[in-house]
């Protein structure tokens, strides 16, 4: 087993508001190996994006990464770095692509200028060198006539083109880790496929690790090698992608998969998971999913389940892992 590139241990990012403490990320542990693509999956509000922002230490007050959290990256604990050292990591060793290409580019500068800015920050490149590199990078992400497009302002480009620009900015310094936070959610379906294909291709070329945040299991199936499912600020299940689709263990993962349409699906209605994600200021006692879970019993409301290994590579945060007979009982009744 190689040394992981990124290893998050017991990450807790809490927001201390007047209405109470929102435990948005509450004890997340996960690892990403060099060159690996990991999918981070879950509903809105489960803590995916806050996890991503925590890795880059971009959580704004009143949000705070609590003591005891560790984020090991290339052998260093990012949480122990100074702000200055951290800036040398951001955009350089770890880069991020945001969900909304419409708003993630500054409307008052040309896109070439904004891509070039990255090289100016990290490589201290001259204005002219940075511009040349930016045009080359725009070419690499498949933007036609890059030297002309570089002089365009963001509003002159389509959503797909803008997302390519964001990817160009993120990959400019050849980072070891790329965090893509719902990179295709805001795009048309046809463009989504192109952007995902581009990401996969660039990853094959450069060997960058990718943390792909999404709520779209279809995207996960095609893109990632391993899946981490989050619920209520916690990791509830993780396994290789084939294993997740073939043998999901956690009732929440099963619910997500059942809610997904499949080709040749004859169901009249897609299945849904009843209820909504509870507020992070008041996670339910016991298992955080128990009041939405059709398999829950008394133990689930009383005792918070730990992570149970199903196999070497598969783990689930569910009491069913230690009482599997419960599952059989629930399905027969």
Partner 1 sequence: MPATSLAAIRHELTRPRRAAAPLGTAAGTRAALAALIVLGVIAIVGPYLWHYRPTAQLDIVALKSTAPSWNHPLGTDRFSRDVLARVLFGTRISLAIAILAVLVSATVGTTYGVVAGYAGGWIDAVLMRLIDALLSVPRVLLLIAVLALWNPVPLWGLILLIGLTGWFGVARQVRAQALAVRDRDFATAARALGAPPWLVAWRHVLPNVLSPVIIATTLAVGDVIVLEAGLSFLGIGAREPMPSLGTMFQDAVAQSVTAWWAVFSPGIVIVVIVMAFNTLGDALRDALDPRQLPGHAMHEHPEPVDA
Whether 199 contacts 206, CB under 8 Å: no
224-227 CB contacts, 8 Å cutoff, 24+ apart: 224/37, 224/38, 224/39, 225/36, 225/37, 225/38, 226/36, 226/37, 226/38, 226/39, 226/313, 227/38, 227/39, 227/41
CA–CA distance from 116 to each of 59, 170, 208 (Å)? 25, 11, 21
Instruction: Closer to partner 1 by CB, 46 or 53: give it.
Output: 53
Give the nearer residue to partner 1 in terms of CB position, either 117 or 234. 117
- Contact criterion met (CB below 8 Å) for 14 and 64: yes
- Cβ proximity to partner 1, 106 vs 276, nearer residue: 106
> N- to C-terminal Cα distance for the chain?
43
| Beta carbon nearer to partner 1, 94 or 227 | 94
Q: Which residue lies nearer to partner 1 by CB, 12 or 93?
A: 93
Q: Please report how close the Cβ of residue 35 comes to partner 1 at its closest, in angstroms.
A: 22
CB of 254 to partner 1, least distance (A): 34
User: In this structure, are strands 76-77 and 308-309 parallel, antiparallel, or unpaired?
Assistant: unpaired
Which of 88/322 has CB closer to partner 1?
Answer: 88
Q: Where on the chain is the footprint of partner 1 (CB under 8 A)?
A: 56, 58, 60-61, 87-92, 95-96, 98, 100, 102-109, 117-118, 121-122, 149, 152, 154-161, 163-164, 166, 169-170, 191, 194-195
Name the residue with tokens 């230490």.
Answer: 57
Smallest gap from Cβ 136 to partner 1, in A, equals 18
- Residue 300: CB minimum distance to partner 1, A: 37
Instruction: Single out the residue of 269, 249, 265, 245 nearest to residue 257, CA to CA.
Output: 245
Which residue, 47 or 160, has its beta carbon nearer to partner 1? Answer: 160
**Smallest distance, Å, CB 226 to partner 1?**
24
217-223 long-range Cβ contacts below 8 angstroms, 24+ apart = 217/41, 217/256, 217/257, 217/260, 218/260, 219/39, 219/184, 219/192, 220/39, 220/41, 220/244, 221/245, 222/196, 223/37, 223/39, 223/196, 223/199
| CB 71, min distance to partner 1, A | 15
Compare residues 191 and 260 and give the one whose CB is closer to partner 1. Answer: 191
Report strand pairing: 226-231 vs 234-240: antiparallel
Q: Which residues contact 29 (CB under 8 A, 6 or more apart)?
A: 8, 9, 10, 11, 235
Nearer to partner 1, 22 or 161 (CB): 161
- Minimal distance in Å, beta carbon 243 to partner 1? 32
On whether the CB atoms of residues 244 and 253 are closer than 8 A, the answer is: yes
Kindly state the tokens that stand for 247.
């043998």
Whether the Cβ atoms of residue 310 and residue 316 lie closer than 8 Å to each other: yes
């Amino acid at each position: 087993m190689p040394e992981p590139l990124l290893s998050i241990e017991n990450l807790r990012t809490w927001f201390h508001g007047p209405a109470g403490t929102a435990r948005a990320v509450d004890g997340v542990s996960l690892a990403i190996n060099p060159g690996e693509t990991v999918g981070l999956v879950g509903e809105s509000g489960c803590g995916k994006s806050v996890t991503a922002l925590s890795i880059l230490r971009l959580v704004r007050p009143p949000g705070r990464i609590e003591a005891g959290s560790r984020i090991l990256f290339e052998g260093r604990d990012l949480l122990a770095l100074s702000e200055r050292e951290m800036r040398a990591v951001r955009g350089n060793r770890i880069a991020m692509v945001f969900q909304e290409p419409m708003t993630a580019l500054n409307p008052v500068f040309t896109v070439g200028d904004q891509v070039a800015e990255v090289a100016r920050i990290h490589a201290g490149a001259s204005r002219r060198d940075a511009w040349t590199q930016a045009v080359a990078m725009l070419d690499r992400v498949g933007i036609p006539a890059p030297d002309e497009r570089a002089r365009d302002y963001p509003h002159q480009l389509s959503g797909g083109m803008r997302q390519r620009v964001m990817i160009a900015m993120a990959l400019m310094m050849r980072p070891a880790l790329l965090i893509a936070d719902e990179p295709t959610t805001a795009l048309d379906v046809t463009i989504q496929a192109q952007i995902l294909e581009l990401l996969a291709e660039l990853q094959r070329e450069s060997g960058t690790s990718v943390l792909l945040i999404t709520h779209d299991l279809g995207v996960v199936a095609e893109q990632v090698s391993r899946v981490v499912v989050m619920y209520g600020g916690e990791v509830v299940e993780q396994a290789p992608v084939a294993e997740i689709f073939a043998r999901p263990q956690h009732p929440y993962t099963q619910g997500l998969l059942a809610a997904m349409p499949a080709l040749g699906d004859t169901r009249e209605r897609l299945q849904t998971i009843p209820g909504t994600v509870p507020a992070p200021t008041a996670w339910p006692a016991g298992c955080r999913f128990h009041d939405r879970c059709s398999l829950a019993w008394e133990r689930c409301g009383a005792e918070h389940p730990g992570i149970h290994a199903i196999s070497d590579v598969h783990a689930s945060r569910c009491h069913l892992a230690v009482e599997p007979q419960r599952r059989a009982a629930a399905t027969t009744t």
